[in-house]
């Protein structure tokens, strides 16, 4: 399971620079709008200290971390929902991602042209949010126009879905017409399931990424404060990244060099680590591990998954033929040192189909197909 996050924003806010730095992928970055047309996709390894610690106790032939996928989507402009700036094409790319990282320019630099002529995070955010809302409004209105036909359908499943969908679409239309995102609408689980196939952009989780300069990486400037005020009203998260610093960090060859650089800058972690950690929290994701002589590997799963579902992430046969799982937590391994001592302490358990997997569990699945 790859965590899939689309990086969006106005042209020239630093999206491609950040993407290139954190993925080391060759995204074109230049000082003019629409430099990125086709979305760039980059896979990065998810840093996890626990994975490295496990290998100190269980020596594998190889170590396989979890991965995260970033999609660098071209800069949106005012009128994108109506096709401005190749808007329809770009909005289509956003519909394919799991969550959205909205990069907002929070620095002054006369050498880098702002598409609106001035740096104004509140205005930038409003432009993007309104365009995304209008794109969703068009989708909702199309479905509303088909509702009458669905409600008269002889197919009970179609008719039942339409009955649930009707009030949900009414609420969504009212919100989107006011430029408010679909995620701000109070929808039941049944309603969310009924509109799932609409792939609404503004229903996706949103993270604001403030792109700051080196001087304000350790403190909030007025631009960042403005973004945080907006995010608080939307119940959205905010992180700060300095695209210029991330570019420098990406050029360093060893983990030791990168850590020394971060320490000198007064930072505890890189923007990449912060973005991944926040992204995991945003999408409700956790990690479990499999560990043996052949490999130690990290697997990403949704919070609340039971043991068979987690087994299915490895292979569908594991879920279909699931019997039991041998489970212990990695922190117990770090404390006790060996699986033998884990057994003695009662920390190595056999769990069944109803076991809800915890973040940091180390698992060995038993199955029969």
pTM: 0.80
Instruction: Write down the CATH superfamily of domain 3-45+66-118+204-282.
Output: P-loop containing nucleotide triphosphate hydrolases (3.40.50.300)
Residue 228 is predicted with a pLDDT of: 95
Kindly report the backbone phi and psi dihedral angles of residue 195, in degrees, each rounded to the nearest multiple of 5, phi listed first. -100, 5
Residue 33 is predicted with a pLDDT of: 35
Residue 79 is predicted with a pLDDT of: 52
Residue 74 is predicted with a pLDDT of: 63
Residue 82 is predicted with a pLDDT of: 53
Residue 81 is predicted with a pLDDT of: 46
For the stretch 165-168, contacts whose Cβ atoms lie closer than 8 Å and that sit 24 or more positions apart, written own/partner, are 165/191, 165/194, 165/195, 167/191, 168/192, 168/194, 168/195
Q: Could you give the CA distance from residue 326 to residue 336 in angstroms, rounded to a whole number?
A: 17
Residue 25 is predicted with a pLDDT of: 44
Give me the half-sphere count of Cα atoms (radius 13 Å) on the Cβ side of residue 23. 23
Instruction: Write down the CATH superfamily of domain 131-202.
Output: Obg-related GTPase Ych/YyaF, coiled-coil domain (1.10.150.300)
Structural contact between residues 353 and 322, judged by C-beta atoms closer than 8 angstroms? yes
3-state secondary structure of 128: helix
Q: Where are the domains of the chain?
A: 3-45+66-118+204-282, 131-202, 304-367
DSSP 8-class letter at 356 = B
Give the class (CATH, top level) of 304-367: alpha beta
Structural contact between residues 3 and 300, judged by C-beta atoms closer than 8 angstroms? yes
pLDDT tens track, the chain, 369 positions: 556 888 888 887 888 888 888 776 443 433 333 333 345 777 878 888 999 999 999 999 999 998 888 888 765 555 544 544 444 455 666 787 888 999 999 988 877 766 667 889 999 998 888 888 888 998 999 999 999 999 999 999 999 999 999 999 999 999 999 888 898 899 999 999 999 999 898 999 889 999 999 888 888 999 999 999 999 888 889 999 998 888 888 888 888 888 899 898 888 888 888 888 888 888 889 999 999 999 999 999 999 999 999 999 999 999 999 999 999 999 999 999 998 999 999 999 999 999 999 999 999 999 987
């Amino acid at each position: 399971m790859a965590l899939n996050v689309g990086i969006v924003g106005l042209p020239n806010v630093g999206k491609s620079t950040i993407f290139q730095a954190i993925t080391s992928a060759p995204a074109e970055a230049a000082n003019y709008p629409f430099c990125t047309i086709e979305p760039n996709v980059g896979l990065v390894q998810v840093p996890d200290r626990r994975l490295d610690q496990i290998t100190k106790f269980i020596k594998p032939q190889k170590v396989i971390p979890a991965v995260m996928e970033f999609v660098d989507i071209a800069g949106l402009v005012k009128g994108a929902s109506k096709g401005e700036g190749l808007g329809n094409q770009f909005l289509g790319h956003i519909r394919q991602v799991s969550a959205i990282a909205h990069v907002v320019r929070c620095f002054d630099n006369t050498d880098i042209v702002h598409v609106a002529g001035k740096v104004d995070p509140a205005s930038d955010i409003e432009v993007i949010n309104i365009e995304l809302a209008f794109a969703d409004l068009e989708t909702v209105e199309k479905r509303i126009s088909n509702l009458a036909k669905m409600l008269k359908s002889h197919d009970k499943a179609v008719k039942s879905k339409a009955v649930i969908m009707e009030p949900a679409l009414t609420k969504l239309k009212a919100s989107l017409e006011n430029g408010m995102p679909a995620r701000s609408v109070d929808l039941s689980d049944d309603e969310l399931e009924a509109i799932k196939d609409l792939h609404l952009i503004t229903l996706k989780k949103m993270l604001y990424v403030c792109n700051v300069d080196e001087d304000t990486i350790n403190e909030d400037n007025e631009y960042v404060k403005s973004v945080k005020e907006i995010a608080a009203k939307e119940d959205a998260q905010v992180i700060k990244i300095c695209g210029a610093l991330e570019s420098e960090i990406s050029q360093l060859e060893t983990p030791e060099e990168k850590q020394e650089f971060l320490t000198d800058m007064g930072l505890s972690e890189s923007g990449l680590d912060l973005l991944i950690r926040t992204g995991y929290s945003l999408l409700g994701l956790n990690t479990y591990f499999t560990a043996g002589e052949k490999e130690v590997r990290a697997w990403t799963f949704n919070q609340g998954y039971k043991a068979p579902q987690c087994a299915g992430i490895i292979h569908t046969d594991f879920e279909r033929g699931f019997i039991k799982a041998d489970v212990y937590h990695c922190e117990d391994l770090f404390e006790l040192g060996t699986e033998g001592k884990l057994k003695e302490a009662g920390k190595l358990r056999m769990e069944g189909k109803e076991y809800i997997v915890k973040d940091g569990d180390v698992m060995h699945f038993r199955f029969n197909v």
